[in-house]
Amino acid sequence: MIVARDLRLALDGHVILAGVSFDVARGEAVALVGPNGSGKTSVIRCLLGLVPFTGYAAIGGRDVVREPVAARVQVGYVPQRAAFGDARAAEPLAFVARLRGVDARRAVGLLDAVGLAAHAGERVRTFSGGMQQRLALAVALVGEPPVLLLDEPSASLDADGQRTFFDIVGRLRGRGQTLVLASHRAEEVESLTDRVVRLDRGRVAAPPAAKPVARIVPHAARRGGGRP
Amino acid sequence: MRPRAVALVAARELREAMRGRWFVAAAACFFVLSLGLALLGLAGAERSGLAGFDRTTASVANLALVFVPLVTLTLGGLGIAGELEDGSLALLLAQPLTRLEAYGGKYLGLLAAVTAAVCAGFGGTGVVVGWAAGGGRAAAYLALVGLTVLLAAATLGIGTLLSVLLRSRARVVGAAFTVWLALVYVSDLGTIGLAVARRLAPAQVFALAALNPVQQARVAATLVLSDRVDVLGPVGAWGEDTFGMTGLVAVLVGLLLAAAAGALVAGWMAFRKVPVT
């Protein structure tokens, strides 16, 4: 589903990625782990075509550089810290729905799935960090993209916010959502992903490690959660 | 490029801009200042009341040539840089749209917001003058509003280019103010100084002025106000001899459009490779 080959990125003369390669199969959940500055976020930015890299990256067989629209239509993205300007909660959902050519009213209904239905008309800037991240997740789910890229989505959340957020992501995993999660939180990685790609100073530090099967099913999915 | 994607981004940008304080402030400023100038237009003649369209057009032209570039350079400058800094540009570009669609949509949305502010501000004054004073050429006033929008298109393009090149709100604000000073005041004085010092021919002075969209709009506004090109001196005479009166206005409008297009293309070339981090 995702192919990354020899991703290299340099910004302002600094080498950020020095040849990162990995694959993600359909339905697989992969964690990108490593210390701060190891290149986790940069790999996700390469997959989204946000930075000028060399190498090859494709999502669903579509080259993210040559076919950016076809590649990104298959991706939902949750950044470390979501920003929605002065918008009301329902607006980014409706905007993305129209861009993706799906029903805007149905997209706004995703607010219910992330527990924000009562806040649809409120300004996002009045939301807590956890609410903003849940909104970002709802936006990422518009159009049901087969791949979710989560870039340390819980970095700015408190314990309750993290639990709520990852319960929702866990339910998505339960239905076989392909996932790439950049994180340095062991608990998230343990509960949500099948496999780890460890990065260190812009390189894959060790061969991708498989995790025991018993650990790959998230807690929420074991509780019988369906699609949020 | 898909027009629908551009239109969606433009509509989003317009909605956010019109919701912001700057829109209300700019529209109110344009209205209050232009109406004030219309009211003061007859003060020199020791008469009170609203001036007619001709005098109001002359007053509003000076206002537009100074304030509209200031607003649009700053607004365009903060557009991309602001969204880069707060992370919302990354969220936008992570959606299934190309950078060209995002860039074009953001520019068109901001231009629509500026046009709305100009029309609300200067248009409001036009309505008041037409209702209370009348007299003079309303068509010239409308032409001036059109020229103002063209000038806004050019300076907004320059502001957006600055935004892409500098990628920081703080740097962009400083650069926008510097460019504004250069376009509105320094270029004028520089052209005059150079013309005198180097004894430039009228064609050369015209070419120098044609490099600056504010000068282009200023000359075009002068022609809108008066059909006598001698008010522009030898350069105006050269322009009329070379292009004819209608042709001269068309050349100036074309130059304004070219300035907007040039700034947009340069901005887009830079934006294509901007790392969104």
Could you report how far apart the first and last alpha carbons of chain A are, in Å?
A: 22
Q: State mean pLDDT over B35-62.
A: 69
DSSP output for A207-223? SPEE--GGGTS-HHHHT
Q: State mean pLDDT over A17-36.
A: 92
**Percent residues over pLDDT 70 in chain B:** 92
CA distance A146 to A73: 9
CA distance B223 to B225: 5
Tell if the CB–CB gap between B276 and A45 is shorter than 8 Å: yes
Cα separations in angstroms, A62 against A69, B98, B195:
9, 14, 58
Helix (H) or strand (E) holding B7: helix B3-19
Q: What digits encode the pLDDT tens for the residues B13-26?
A: 999 888 878 888 88
Q: What are phi and psi of B228, to 5 degrees?
A: -100, 110
Predicted confidence band at A61 (pLDDT cuts at 50, 70, 90)?
very high
| ipTM attached to this prediction | 0.85
CA distance A202 to A189: 20
Q: What digits encode the pLDDT tens for the residues B69-107?
A: 999 999 999 989 999 998 889 999 999 999 999 999 999
Judging contacts by C-beta atoms under 8 Å, the chain A residues touching residue B273 are 52
**Percent residues over pLDDT 70 in chain A:** 90
pLDDT tops 50 at residue A217: no
Residue A123 DSSP code: B
Q: Point out the residue among A69, A81, A82 whose CB comes nearest to the CB of B96.
A: A69
**Which of B152, B132, B134 is closest to B53 using CA atoms?**
B134
The residue with greater pLDDT, A19 or A163, is A19
Tell if the CB–CB gap between A68 and B98 is shorter than 8 Å: yes
pLDDT tops 80 at residue A161: no
- For residue B218 the two structure tokens come to 């200023």
Tell if the CB–CB gap between B276 and A51 is shorter than 8 Å: yes
Q: What digits encode the pLDDT tens for the residues A170-204?
A: 888 888 889 999 988 787 888 888 899 999 899 99
Judging contacts by C-beta atoms under 8 Å, the chain B residues touching residue A70 are 96
Q: Which CATH architecture has domain A2-74+146-222?
A: 3-Layer(aba) Sandwich (3.40)
Question: Tokens 């180097």 correspond to what residue?
Answer: B198
pLDDT tops 60 at residue A22: yes
Chain A residue whose CA is closest to B96? A69
pTM of the model: 0.87
CA distance B70 to A11: 33
Judging contacts by C-beta atoms under 8 Å, the chain A residues touching residue B5 are 99
Q: State mean pLDDT over B152-172.
A: 94
**Percent residues over pLDDT 90 in chain B:** 46
The backbone region for A75, taken as left when phi is positive above 0, alpha when psi lies in -120 to 50, beta otherwise, is beta
pLDDT tops 90 at residue B40: no
Q: Point out the residue among B12, B83, B95 whose CB comes nearest to the CB of A72.
A: B95
Tell if the CB–CB gap between A45 and B12 is shorter than 8 Å: no
Chain A residue whose CA is closest to B4? A99
Q: 3-class DSSP state for residue B155?
A: helix
Q: State mean pLDDT over A69-90.
A: 91
pLDDT on residue B113: 94
The one-letter amino acid at A94: A
Residue B186 DSSP code: I
CB contact set of A167 (below 8 Å; sequence gap of 6+):
A219, A220, A225
Print burial letters for B203-229: b (CB count within 10 Å at least 16), e (below 16): ebbbebbbebbbbbbbbbbbbbbeeeb
CA distance A141 to B120: 39
pLDDT tops 70 at residue A212: no
pLDDT tops 70 at residue A227: no
Q: Helices B138-166 and B53-86 sit at what angle, rounded to 10 degrees?
A: 20
Tell if the CB–CB gap between B16 and A99 is shorter than 8 Å: no
Tell if the CB–CB gap between B94 and A91 is shorter than 8 Å: no
Chain B residue whose CA is closest to A71? B96
Interface residues on A facing B, Cβ-Cβ cutoff 8 A: 11, 45, 48-52, 68-70, 72-73, 75, 77, 79-87, 91-92, 95-96, 98-100, 136, 139
Strand partners, A59: A2, A62
CA distance A154 to A150: 9
